[in-house]
Structures are given as C-alpha cells and as structure tokens.
Amino acid sequence: MLPQKTAIITGAGKGIGLAVARALAKEGVRLGLIARSAADLERLRSELKEQFGTDAAIATADVSNRTEAEAAVAQLAGQLGTIDILINNAGTATFGTLADMDPEEWQRIIQVNLMGTYYVTRAALPHMLERKQGDILNVASTAGERGFATGSAYCASKFAVMGLTESLFHEVRKSNIRVTALTPSTVNTELAFKAGLPIGTEDRMMQPEDVAQLVLAALALPPRVVMKTAGILTTNPQ
C-alpha cells in the first residue's frame, strides 16, 4: 500500500495511464489526472469514487502546450497539496518513412512525447525538490532503445525521453528523487491499434495492467534504491 501518497498521471484517460490510475488508486494513492478528453477523465473519476471511495482531481490539458501543461500541474498540485509521484505517460504515435511523413506530423510527435514530458516534469519538479522526495516515472518504450523502419519520429521522441530521463536521474538523485524510464514493448491499447502495430493474439499480448504492475514494482522498492530503467517484454513473442 502507498497510503498518504499523491500522484499526477498524464494520459490517464485511456490505455496504460488508465491502468496505472486504477492500480495506484487501489493502493490508496490520491490522484491528479491529466488528458485532453474531459469525458474520459470524468468517467474515470466516477469509477474510482465508486470503487475506492477516492476523489481524484482532474485537469484537461494538452501536455504539448506549455501554458496548459503548467496550469494543469499547478491546479492539481494545489488540490492534492503535494506531488509525491509523477507518471509521464501521455504520448502519441504515427508511423511512416522519414521521406513520406508530413513534417508537421513528425514535429507533433516530438512535441507531445518529448516536450510534453519536459513541460510537465519542469512544472512538477519544484514541488519534489522542496520536500527532497519524489518519484518520476517516464513511459518511454523499447522504441527508445532501438530504431526501426517507419519509426523515425516516434523513436526519436522516445530516445529523447530516455536522454531526458537519464540526465534528470543524475541531477536529482542527490535530492532523494527517483527517476525511472519504463520501456515496455507493444501494449494492447488504442495507440497500438490505431498505429497498426502487431499486438499479437489475445493470450500473448502485453496488457496495460502489466505496465501498471511494473510501476508498482518500481514504487515498492526501498527509498534508498531506484529502478533506473525498467523494461518488460512478452514471454512468448510471435
């Protein structure tokens, strides 16, 4: 259990973020949830209230917009009182060859996945530095560890998230703030489905709940140690 803890989760309306929100709420964490869709967040808030009796705070924001990202973090920090845990999960994917992909779409991927992570982290960090404690978990991907054809925008964004994460790890380690990069392979979510990723057959695909378990495992470590990079793959690839 993680009672008395507070967490902000970006991209909490669907997929991995939704599964992480459910898992943390079950552990007694008070949540601040960010996504662009108010309907998704309202639905989740009602579900968490009904199931766990918790009142999650919600903020609709596009994390790729600095003003919106900063306002959302400020609002949620005000409502929660503290930020113990930040899960930078909001992300998007479009695949296409570098030659064919529209430059504006290429830039949008970078803006959401990298700049969104940067804006939200920059806004949340002072709350952690002040108390000399905190956990920041950035949802990167195996696409942040190796490239593949049609992945230039997505892989560039996730490699960059890995670089941001590694550098921040060294900057705030001495302040007792743990920074972790999560690197799951393909997960059964709308993002993977829309992007046409091979997610495998029902019994073999990785589920959002599996990534949520990885988050819990990282948070369950004694405060004196940090899970620096945490990857999971399916045991039975096709």
Ligand X SMILES: NC(=O)c1ccc[n+]([C@@H]2O[C@H](COP(=O)([O-])OP(=O)(O)OC[C@H]3O[C@@H](n4cnc5c(N)ncnc54)[C@H](OP(=O)(O)O)[C@@H]3O)[C@@H](O)[C@H]2O)c1
Active site residues: 154
Which residues 108-127 are close enough to bind ligand X by CB under 6 A? 112, 116
User: Can you list the positions of beta strands (E) in the chain?
Assistant: 6-10, 30-35, 57-60, 85-88, 134-139, 177-184, 229-232
Instruction: In angstroms, give the least distance from the CB of 206 to ligand X.
Output: 8
CB 205 within 8 A of CB 186: yes
Q: Which is nearer to ligand X, 17 or 151 (CB)?
A: 17
Instruction: In angstroms, give the least distance from the CB of 4 to ligand X.
Output: 26
Helix (H, G, I), strand (E, B) or coil at 123: helix
Choose the stretch contacting ligand X; rule: CB under 6 A; options: 50-58, 95-103, 162-170, 182-190. Answer: 182-190
Q: Which is nearer to ligand X, 1 or 77 (CB)?
A: 77
190 binds ligand X (CB under 6 A): yes
- Considering only 20, 35, 124, 214, the residue that binds ligand X (CB under 6 A) is 35
Distances (CA, A) of 13 to 42, 154, 165, 188: 9, 21, 23, 15
| Footprint of ligand X (CB under 6 A) | 10-17, 34-37, 40, 62-64, 89-93, 112, 116, 139, 141, 184, 186-187, 189-192, 197
